[in-house]
Structure 1
Amino acid sequence: MSAVLVQRVREHFSCHAEEYDRFARVQKIVAARLVAQASPLIPAGRVLDVGTGTGEVARCLRERDPGRPLLVCDLAPGMTRHAVASLPNALAADGDAQSLPFVAGVFAGVLSASVYQWMNDLPEAFREARRVLADEGLFAFALFGEGTLFELRASHRQAVAEMQPGGCSHVQEFPSRQGVAAALEAGGFRILRLWSENEVEWHETVPDLLRALKKIGAQNASDQRPPGLASRRVMQRMNDIYRARFAHEGRIPATYEVIYGLACKGW
């Protein structure tokens, strides 16, 4: 990541650490499912939780494996402090997933949930995970895929096309499963299993959804993003389109495509 982008992401997530758990409902489900799949496959040794947020992955792993040594790491210092406060005897470090502050080969498991979709260079982030992983270790992750928030993205694209002809929609894009597989292979991993599941979260209104996304720091952090989502006219039209196309029984859905992966060192 560029220095500007790193600072932007750090600020986004640090400033929402204290209230993150109240809004991160899908993220909690994803963390629990990831740990359930990964924990039986991790050999003895320390586990690194990359992009720990408030520590949900590490807490789920500790519940299943209380004696496992844990180290939590996040780009946002506010998140790291929040996570380690609820994890007695865990170690903590601030660090970027694309440049982890650890020597090579020291972790039996590298786990991460709801983080890697923010990477500008996914193969590089995966190479870093591989670098710090022991030879027999397990890499397990969950990230949001290209179907995530398709309702929001489709509504915004249509609103921009109608209200600002020639304009472009700049809502966050997410990687495809094929792209994730290619990034894993480029990063030197052998894929054990790669699959996706959908989670649907319901909101009363589109503004409620947008507020929830802001509370969990899930703002578009692309290097090339323009400022703000759009003009007031575009936002109002997006709201109308979203409700007309997707509302059900008075509420609106927000779909998250979750791509799960289990991998080990290749070659």
Structure 2
Amino acid sequence: MIDGSRQWRKQRISDAFGAAAAHYDDHAGPQRQAAALVAELAQRQKPDGVGRILEIGCGTGFLTRDVQARWPGAEMVVTDLSPGMLEQAASAGHVAGRFLTMDGEAPIFEGPWFDLIVSSLAFQWFDDLGSGIIRLAGLLRPGGSLIFSTMGQGSFARWRAAHAQCGLVAGVPDYPTLDGLRAMLAGFGDAFAFDEDYALDCGGARGLIAHLRGIGAVVPGEGRAPLSPGDLRRVMAAFEAGGGGDAYQVLFGRVTRSAR
């Protein structure tokens, strides 16, 4: 059960992504790359025998469209925390499925329903990633796989460093390390995780802020307050002095349920 403060935070996240839905694709370079790799990993793992697919955090539909093209005969259930993102994904065309507003951390399904569960760059918004993965893995049919990507702690390292140089803490959430994710998956009999870095050529501090706003990633980590205008100017100057570029560290994971 989600307490009031967490429910309020989830609503803020939903609202922020809904507000960004119409222009999200213009800012989502790393998101496209991560979604493409999730789809490729899923096909390598489960090339056939896929009757029902669940997607968590569809956004505007990068992964949705790719997955449907690879398994055109499968029944797809497409979900997102944000109704605005769902509407954008559904309106893009080339997608046939059931679209549901749903918090992926609290799925409305029970028991083994899906042959494949996919998600790209949504799990970082979970309150408890380890528990969320366990719940979703419990929805897999025998032989089914959960394939996902999520943000890693190395993301926006230069932006974090600019804050630290000014004696401040960035509002960027505390994402897991690769070792941390591997520890979460260690209890599964068949699982792995790895990471990839995606450069973000944002052209400076203003470009980075525009990128984050453009994709709706504007809700700070829990307990973090927005910077004052003066502090923000100091951080931006430090970031520019450090080169003005940054990167995503994206963690990829796979959990497969035993066929027996």
Write the letter of the residue equivalent to 2:129: L
What count of residue pairs does the alignment treat as equivalent? 252
1:117-164: CA deviations, max 9, x gaps?
1212011211221122112100100111010000111101212x1xxx
Alignment partner of 1:240 out of 231, 237, 241: 237
CA–CA distance in structure 2, aligned partners of residues 225 and 169 of structure 1: 8
Would the alpha carbon gap of residues 206 and 168 (structure 1) be closer, same or farther in structure 2, given more than 3 Å must change? closer
| Residues 86-95 or 18-27, more deviating | 86-95
**TM-score in terms of structure 1 length:** 0.88
**5+ long unaligned stretches in structure 2:** none
- 1:182 and 2:174 equivalent? no
- 1:73 and 2:73 equivalent? no
1:174, distance to aligned residue in structure 2 (A) = 1.2
CA–CA distance in structure 1, aligned partners of residues 40 and 84 of structure 2: 27
Which secondary structure state, in structure 1, belongs to the residue aligned with residue 253 of structure 2?
strand
1:191, distance to aligned residue in structure 2 (A) = 4.2
1:36-60: CA deviations, max 9, x gaps?
1111322321111101111111111
CA–CA distance in structure 2, aligned partners of residues 65 and 97 of structure 1: 22
Alignment partner of 2:14 out of 10, 13, 16: 10
Write the letter of the residue equivalent to 2:232: M
Determine the structure 2 residue equivalent to 1:215.
Answer: 214
Which secondary structure state, in structure 1, belongs to the residue aligned with residue 22 of structure 2?
coil
1:182, distance to aligned residue in structure 2 (A) = 2.2
Which secondary structure state, in structure 1, belongs to the residue aligned with residue 58 of structure 2?
coil
Write the letter of the residue equivalent to 2:70: R
Which secondary structure state, in structure 1, belongs to the residue aligned with residue 127 of structure 2?
coil
Question: What pairs with 1:31-50 in structure 2 (closer than 5 Å)?
Answer: 31-42=35-46, 43-50=49-56
**5+ long unaligned stretches in structure 1:** 162-166
The answer to whether the Cα contact below 8 Å between 2:204 and 2:239 also exists between their aligned partners in 1 is: no
Identity of aligned residues (%): 26
1:12-52: CA deviations, max 9, x gaps?
11111111111111100110011111113223211111011
1:69, distance to aligned residue in structure 2 (A) = 2.2
Alignment partner of 2:29 out of 4, 25, 36: 25
Would the alpha carbon gap of residues 51 and 190 (structure 1) be closer, same or farther in structure 2, given more than 3 Å must change? farther
The answer to whether the Cα contact below 8 Å between 1:14 and 1:78 also exists between their aligned partners in 2 is: yes
The answer to whether the Cα contact below 8 Å between 2:159 and 2:170 also exists between their aligned partners in 1 is: no
Which secondary structure state, in structure 2, belongs to the residue aligned with residue 89 of structure 1?
coil
Question: What pairs with 1:97-108 in structure 2 (closer than 5 Å)?
Answer: 97-108=104-115
**TM-score in terms of structure 2 length:** 0.90
Which secondary structure state, in structure 1, belongs to the residue aligned with residue 79 of structure 2?
strand
Which secondary structure state, in structure 2, belongs to the residue aligned with residue 93 of structure 1?
strand
C-alpha RMSD over aligned residues: 1.9
The answer to whether the Cα contact below 8 Å between 2:55 and 2:77 also exists between their aligned partners in 1 is: yes
Question: What pairs with 1:1-267 in structure 2 (closer than 5 Å)?
Answer: 2-42=6-46, 43-85=49-91, 86-159=93-166, 161=167, 168-185=169-186, 189-226=188-225, 228=226, 230-245=227-242, 247=243, 252-265=244-257
The answer to whether the Cα contact below 8 Å between 1:55 and 1:72 also exists between their aligned partners in 2 is: no
